[in-house]
């Protein structure tokens, strides 16, 4: 929302009365308009208990199905068409058709994926088995090599060869991932103690994982062992390392037959699908014979040719389905997310007692009320119902009507009225002052040119870069601030020209303001009298670094380029930039205080002008404004001949505040300085009690006068009742047929009697409403004291903060000078021919360091410091900045993802553990306890009604236990230990109210918590399968449990540590 340039848009709170049939279309039109922000009228109602929760879940399910389809489309490398179309929101009746379409699409894709995954898995198994059969046959052929038998037979004694029993070895063959082989070998060796023989062979080509689609490198292994015990160990180890085991025949003939069948099936699968087109396992013969003969595979069967045709048709059908879905996927996403946003918004509305009308409250700009009314009429016209209405609640209406009804709504409205006041906007000034203060710290012509060129590139190619939609967070952040970066670069060039600084070097553009000609007289340097006097003055000017006449005539010689070769360069520049920082800072802060006058005039608060603005501006002007005048006076009062006697301004200002004028080392700047400075300090100090005491007393006097006038105009009791009834009639919620009004869940009107009001705490609501406008002198005094102290001390600390302008400017200049001297100077200093080649190497290094250090790091540092000077030192003088960001309900923001971060999270900020139990993201339970207290108070009314029928006490106690106590103790073991004392007191008041109604002593809330916690802990301790059972360990004595060590208070107050301490304090502890 773009309101006035110098002040925020005027906002108003409005109520919308929407017919139930037309509410969906009305919210849809408001979402397209994007001008209203809905308030949550059901903050204490669980998300799972709201009216449209089923519709939201259905939309989330459709969104999940669309994300699944999108994933499949991207996996198939099919481009998703984005025409930029913005479809209209579908009607609620269209949700069934969309669900059916998405369900059918999802089922088709899942069925196709299942078949393809099964095909890939089958192919992988056959491929691995093929490699196993080939490699194992090679292993056995090597073992049966006759040459190997002849070499080993000579080592054995023929007489002993036949004595031994026949040795039979078992073996296991399989495939394992290549990266697991080293660990696999060590595990086999250690577990089997070296009694196994392992042979490995790598599979040259990677295999495709059927689940993930990744390429995996594997190896074939065969393990020889003896005995069933080793066999079981080997199989368990293989299972632990996720190795695939396959049956391998023991005889060559069986292996030859199995290999032929496997090869046939593999080639059939290869032709049935293109998933193995790049595999190297497509040969039709390999060695399986005893002597390495090639076995020819049989021809393909007719059955598999028909299967190939069916699978190809299935793949073609999948491609057609995905291509059709890719054309309308974005449109489906937009429709579903718009529907979901509408139902989310409808859950924020309150439902009328007749169930025929939805009541919503929205913040909207006053200037857009006509557009909102037109959108509502357009939405109701689609449903042929009565026209929905938007009633604007002015601040007076809110205070007159709502304060009499309930406290929570009044508090919220009063908070918004106080926080959403349109303060003066600092943006128009900050657009210029921010890049200027940045440039004061960053001032360098060369660096400014580089920054300007980079920002100008982003501005010129803005549309093209926006269309690319980059995901780089750093680039997006810089791109979003491209215009302010452009201004920063331009201002850096400007300040660099003033500093005469370009890559740490000065430019002699305008010449110098001094000359050494008088030193060269006609007699070999002997000056004449006139020349001597003139030369003496010039020499003094250079020697004492004064700016008097040279500054006036030559603008500080363009910051005297000869200062680069002067020995006292830093002394001069530090003094100049330090004083410049103080001048800019004081002017900036005085401007901020002046802007506060515009706020006081806008809100028509003359008291804040006379007792706020005037003392503040006088206080700062008398002290720091006077310091600025002293700086200018010193620059003009002393020249080159007298600058050595100039007093220190720092010492002079300190002596001024301490009334110390007896310092002989620091003489006065002008005549009458002591009297003027003493008067200024007295005036400044007199402003402090004016802000601190006088304003507070005047406010108290005004309150007493208003109270006196209200007592004078107090009406009769009959008139007060009539006024209350009129206020209730004018309420925006409406009355029931019995004359009882419900507003936000609180029953007001012809409701309970005086005794019932004590039960439902109606008196507390009325008392809160009466005290809402009560003047608290202590709070006002404390607030004014904090403001006064903060302002007075802030003037000192904020002025010192502006010295960062000098500090960062000095740091930037010194870093630039060091970088030039240590890098660039090396290439420029060489006078030989090799210097050119050295410079070609050194310059990229110099450019890289310049960009990384001086542009990025120093630029970011100067940016953050300039940001602080505006947020703290400048804006705290006039800009409160309270309230919250206006985030209207807009479909455009929702589709871009901005709405869910700012708006939805503010309404659905709780993590829901179970029904009726909520916890916030900050692990707080206030909302849960407030909800439980409200539900219990509502049910107390029924307890009182039962009391009127004179039911026995036992029946009332049973009703209390089943209906009220069950609500209060919902998940009590989770949240009670970390609840605050105030929340516990609220819950205990409900029990005290029930005791008054029943006339019977009931268990306190602490007793309920202890009994429930002990009972729950005992069940966990007696159940060995419970995950928390191991926390209940008994000590060796068996009489107590081992305490749980905790490091944080949150852990200490959680269930298990508390339950252990409760069990230890119980008379009997479970074993």
| Beta bridge pairs of residue 742 | 747
Q: At 701, phi and psi to the nearest 5?
A: -65, -40
Q: What is the pLDDT of residue 263?
A: 64
Positive or negative, the CA dihedral 226, 232, 235, 241 is negative
Contacts 24+ apart (CB under 8 A), 544-551: 544/640, 544/643, 544/644, 545/571, 545/572, 545/575, 545/643, 546/638, 546/639, 546/640, 546/643, 547/576, 547/635, 548/635, 548/636, 548/638, 548/639, 548/640, 548/643, 549/639, 549/640, 550/513, 550/514, 551/635
pLDDT digit string (tens) for 191-244? 888 888 888 888 888 888 877 778 888 998 888 888 888 888 888 998 888 888
- Predicted confidence at residue 97, as pLDDT, reads 92
Mean pLDDT of the 353-361 span: 81
Q: Running DSSP on this structure, what letter comes out for residue 406?
A: -
pLDDT of residue 733: 38
**CA 965 to each of CA 769, 987, 1002, 1039: distance values in angstroms, whole numbers, following the listed order:** 29, 10, 10, 33
State the pLDDT confidence band at 493, using cuts at 50, 70 and 90.
very high
- Look up residue 666 and give its DSSP letter: S
Residue 412 has what pLDDT? Answer: 36
The pLDDT of residue 513:
57
Q: What is the dihedral of CA 806, 812, 814, 816, to 10 degrees?
A: -150
What pLDDT is stored for residue 1010 in this prediction?
86
Could you give phi then psi for residue 385, rounded to 5 degrees? Answer: -110, 180
Region 28-43: mean pLDDT is: 90
Average pLDDT, the chain: 75
Residue 1051 CB neighbours (<10 A) = 12
- 48-52, 825-829, 864-868, 1060-1064 — most confident range: 864-868
Nearest alpha carbon to residue 642 among 534, 537, 515: 537
**Residue 824: per-residue pLDDT:** 84
Top-ranked range on mean pLDDT: pick from 108-122, 450-464, 1004-1018? 450-464
Residue 652 has pLDDT above 60, yes or no: yes
* pLDDT band at residue 150 using 50, 70 and 90 as cut-offs: low
What's the burial of 142, exposed, middle or buried (CB within 10 Å: 0-12/13-18/19+)? exposed
What is the pLDDT at residue 560?
52
Q: What tokens were used for 805? A: 């302008």
The predicted pLDDT at position 414 comes to: 32
Percent of the residues in the chain that have a pLDDT greater than 70, as a whole number: 71
Q: Which residue has the higher pLDDT, 424 or 633?
A: 633
* Residues in a beta bridge with 294: 287
Q: What is the mean pLDDT of residues 42-62?
A: 87
Residue 545 has pLDDT above 60, yes or no: no
Question: Is residue 124 packed enough to be buried (19+ CB in 10 Å), middle (13-18) or exposed (0-12)?
Answer: buried
**pLDDT value for 252:** 64
Q: Cα separation of 844 and 851, whole Å? A: 11
Distance CA 1052, CA 1040 (A): 18
Give the helix/strand (H/E) hosting 220: strand 218-225
The yes-or-no verdict on residue 1032 having pLDDT over 70 is: yes
Least confident range from 47-56, 600-609, 867-876, 1034-1043: namely 1034-1043
Kindly calculate the radius of gyration of the chain based on its CA atoms and give it in whole angstroms.
43
For residue 215, give the H/E element and its range. strand 215-216
pLDDT band at 920 (very low <50, low <70, confident <90, very high): low
CA neighbours within 13 Å on the CB side: how many for 828? 8
Report whether 37 contacts 337 (CB < 8 A). no
Structure tokens belonging to residue 886: 């206006």
Bridge partner list, 338 = none
Q: Do residues 815 and 862 make contact, with C-beta atoms less than 8 angstroms apart? A: no
C-alpha span between 394 and 631 (Å, rounded): 52
- pLDDT surpassing 60 at residue 809: yes
Residue 747 banded pLDDT, cuts 50, 70, 90: very low
Nearest to 979 by CA among 1016, 1005, 1017: 1005
- Residue 738 exposed, middle or buried by CB count within 10 Å (0-12, 13-18, 19+): exposed
pLDDT tier at 1067, thresholds 50, 70, 90: low
* Burial class for 982, CB neighbours closer than 10 Å (0-12, 13-18, 19+): exposed
Helix (H) or strand (E) holding 13: strand 11-19
Q: Given this model, what pLDDT does residue 714 score?
A: 62
Integer distance in angstroms from the first to the last C-alpha of the chain? Answer: 67
Give 509's pLDDT tier (boundaries 50, 70, 90): confident
pLDDT for position 963: 84
In which band, very low, low, confident or very high, does the pLDDT at 1018 lie, cut at 50, 70 and 90?
Answer: confident
The pLDDT, as a whole number, for residue 259 is: 62
- Decide if pLDDT at 1033 tops 50: yes
Q: Where are the beta strands (DSSP E) in 674-773?
A: 740-743, 746-749
Most confident region among 670-674, 854-858, 922-926 by mean pLDDT: 854-858
Whose CA is closest to 911, among 929, 926, 923?
923
The yes-or-no verdict on residue 380 having pLDDT over 70 is yes
The whole-angstrom separation of Cα 942 and Cα 1063 is: 37
Q: Determine contact, residues 849/503, Cβ cutoff 8 Å.
A: no
Q: How many helices (H) and strands (E) does the chain have?
A: 45, 15
- pLDDT mean over 13-30: 88
Q: What are phi and psi of 377, to 5 degrees?
A: -65, -40
63 band by pLDDT with thresholds 50, 70 and 90: very high
Instruction: Quote the tokens at residue 755.
Output: 């005794």
Q: What is the mean pLDDT of residues 712-719?
A: 56
**pLDDT at 576 exceeding the cut of 80:** yes
Which one is predicted more confidently, 343 or 896?
Answer: 343
Residue 204 has a pLDDT of: 84
Domains and CATH numbers, the chain: 126-145+168-315 (3.30.70.2750), 571-708+778-802 (no CATH), 906-1065 (no CATH)
Per-residue model confidence as pLDDT tens digits over 254-309: 656 666 666 666 565 555 444 333 333 333 333 333 333 333 334 444 544 554 56
Closest to 174 measured CA to CA, from 142, 138, 215, 218: 218
Give 413-438 pLDDT, tens digit per residue.
333 333 345 677 788 889 999 999 99
CB atoms within 10 A of CB 692: 18
**Of the segments 77-81, 624-628, 938-942, which one has the largest average pLDDT value?**
624-628
User: Is residue 627 within 8 Å of residue 653, measured between CB atoms?
Assistant: yes
Q: Residue 438: its pLDDT value, please? A: 96
3-class SS at 359? Answer: strand
């Amino acid at each position: 929302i773009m309101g006035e340039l110098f002040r925020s848009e005027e906002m108003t709170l409005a109520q919308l009365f929407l017919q139930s049939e037309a509410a969906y279309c009305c919210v849809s039109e408001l979402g397209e308009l994007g001008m209203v922000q809905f308030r949550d009228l059901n903050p204490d109602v669980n998300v799972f208990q709201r009216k449209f929760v089923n519709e939201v879940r259905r939309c989330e399910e459709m969104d999940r199905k669309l994300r699944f389809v999108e994933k499949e489309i991207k996996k198939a490398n099919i481009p998703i068409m984005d025409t930029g179309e913005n479809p209209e929101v579908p009607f609620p009746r269209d949700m069934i058709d969309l669900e059916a379409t998405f369900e059918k699409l999802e089922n088709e894709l899942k069925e196709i994926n299942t078949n393809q995954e099964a095909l890939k898995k089958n192919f992988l198994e056959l491929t691995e088995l093929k490699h196993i059969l080939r490699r194992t046959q090679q292993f056995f052929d090597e073992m049966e090599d006759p040459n190997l038998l002849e070499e080993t037979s000579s080592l054995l004694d023929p007489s002993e060869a036949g004595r031994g029993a026949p040795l039979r070895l078992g073996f296991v063959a399989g495939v394992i991932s290549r990266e697991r082989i080293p660990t696999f070998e060590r595990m086999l060796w250690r577990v089997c103690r070296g009694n196994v023989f392992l042979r490995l062979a790598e599979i040259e080509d990677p295999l495709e994982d059927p689940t993930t689609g990744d390429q995996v490198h594997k190896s074939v292994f065969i393990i020889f062992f003896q005995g069933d015990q080793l066999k079981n160990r080997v199989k368990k180890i293989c299972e632990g390392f996720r190795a695939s085991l396959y049956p391998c025949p023991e005889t060559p003939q069986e292996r030859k037959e199995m290999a032929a069948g496997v090869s046939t099936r593999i080639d059939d699968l290869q032709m049935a699908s293109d998933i193995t087109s790049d595999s190297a396992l497509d040969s039709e013969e390999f060695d399986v014979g005893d002597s390495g003969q090639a076995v020819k595979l049989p021809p393909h069967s007719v059955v598999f040719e028909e299967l190939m045709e069916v699978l190809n048709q299935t793949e073609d059908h999948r491609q057609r389905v995905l291509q059709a879905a890719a054309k309308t996927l974005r449109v489906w996403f937009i429709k579903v997310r718009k529907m979901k946003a509408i139902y989310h918004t409808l859950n924020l509305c309150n439902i009328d007692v007749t169930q025929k009308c939805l009541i919503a409250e929205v913040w909207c700009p006053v200037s857009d009320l006509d557009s909102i009314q037109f959108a509502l009429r357009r939405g109701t016209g689609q449903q042929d119902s009565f026209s929905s209405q938007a009633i604007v609640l002015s601040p007076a209406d809110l205070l007159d009507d709502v304060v009499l009804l309930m406290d929570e709504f009044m508090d919220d409205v009063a908070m918004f009225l106080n926080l959403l006041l349109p303060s003066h906007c600092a943006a128009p000034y900050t657009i210029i002052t921010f890049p200027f203060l940045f440039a004061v710290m960053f001032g360098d012509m060369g660096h400014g040119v580089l920054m300007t060129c980079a920002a100008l590139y982003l501005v010129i190619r803005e549309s093209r870069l926006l269309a690319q939609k980059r995901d780089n967070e750093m680039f997006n952040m810089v791109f979003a601030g491209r215009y302010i970066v452009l201004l920063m670069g331009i201002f850096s060039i400007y300040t660099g020209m003033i500093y005469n600084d370009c890559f740490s070097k000065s430019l002699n553009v305008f010449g110098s303001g001094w000359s050494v000609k008088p030193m060269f007289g006609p007699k070999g340097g002997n000056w004449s009298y006139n020349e001597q006097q003139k030369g003496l003055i010039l020499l003094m000017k250079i020697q004492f670094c004064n700016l008097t006449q040279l500054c006036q005539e030559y603008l500080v010689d363009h910051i005297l380029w000869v200062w680069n070769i002067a020995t006292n360069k830093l002394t001069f520049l530090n003094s100049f930039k330090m004083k410049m920082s103080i001048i800019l800072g004081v002017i900036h802060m005085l401007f901020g205080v002046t802007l506060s006058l515009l706020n006081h005039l806008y809100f028509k608060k003359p008291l804040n002008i006379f007792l706020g603005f005037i003392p503040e501006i006088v206080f700062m002007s008398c002290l720091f404004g006077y310091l600025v005048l002293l700086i200018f006076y010193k620059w003009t009062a002393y020249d080159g001949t007298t600058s050595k006697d100039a007093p220190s301004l720092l010492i002079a200002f300190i002596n001024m505040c301490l009334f110390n004028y007896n310092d002989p080392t620091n003489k006065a700047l002008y005549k009458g300085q002591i009297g003027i400075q003493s008067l200024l300090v007295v005036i400044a100090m007199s402003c402090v009690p004016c802000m601190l005491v006088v304003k507070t007393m005047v406010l108290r006097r005004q309150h007493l006068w208003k109270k006196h006038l209200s007592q004078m105009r107090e009406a009769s009791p009959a008139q007060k009742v009539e006024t209350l009834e009129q206020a209730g009639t004018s309420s925006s919620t409406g009355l029931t047929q019995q004359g009882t009004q419900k507003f936000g869940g609180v029953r007001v009107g012809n409701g309970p009697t005086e005794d019932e009001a004590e039960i439902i705490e109606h008196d507390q609501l009325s008392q809160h409403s009466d005290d809402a406008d009560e003047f608290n002198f202590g709070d006002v005094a404390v607030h004014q004291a904090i403001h006064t102290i903060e302002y007075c001390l802030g003037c000192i600390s904020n002025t010192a903060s502006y010295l960062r302008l000098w500090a960062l400017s000095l740091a930037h200049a010194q870093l630039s000078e060091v970088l030039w001297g240590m890098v660039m100077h090396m290439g420029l200093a060489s006078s030989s021919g090799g210097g050119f080649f050295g410079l070609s190497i050194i310059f990229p290094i110099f450019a890289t360091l310049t960009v990384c250090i001086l542009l990025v790091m120093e630029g970011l540092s100067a940016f953050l410091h300039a940001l602080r000077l505006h947020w703290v030192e400048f804006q705290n003088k006039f800009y409160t900045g309270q309230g919250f960001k206006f985030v209207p309900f807009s479909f455009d923001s929702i589709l871009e993802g901005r709405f869910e971060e700012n708006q939805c999270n503010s309404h659905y900020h709780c993590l829901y553990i179970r029904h009726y139990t909520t916890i916030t993201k900050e692990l707080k339970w206030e909302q849960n306890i407030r909800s439980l207290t409200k539900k219990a108070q509502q049910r107390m009314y029924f307890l009182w009604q039962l009391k009127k029928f004179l039911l026995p006490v036992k029946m009332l106690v049973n009703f209390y236990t089943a209906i009220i106590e069950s609500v209060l103790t919902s998940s009590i073991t989770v949240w009670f230990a970390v609840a605050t004392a105030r929340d516990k007191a609220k819950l205990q008041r409900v029990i005290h109210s029930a005791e008054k109604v029943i006339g019977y002593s009931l268990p306190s809330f602490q007793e309920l918590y202890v009994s429930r916690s002990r009972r729950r802990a005992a069940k966990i301790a007696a159940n060995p399968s419970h995950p928390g059972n191991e926390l209940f360990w008994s000590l060796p004595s068996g009489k107590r449990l081992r305490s749980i060590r905790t490091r944080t208070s949150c852990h200490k107050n959680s269930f298990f540590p508390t339950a252990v301490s409760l069990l230890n304090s119980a008379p009997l502890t479970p074993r």
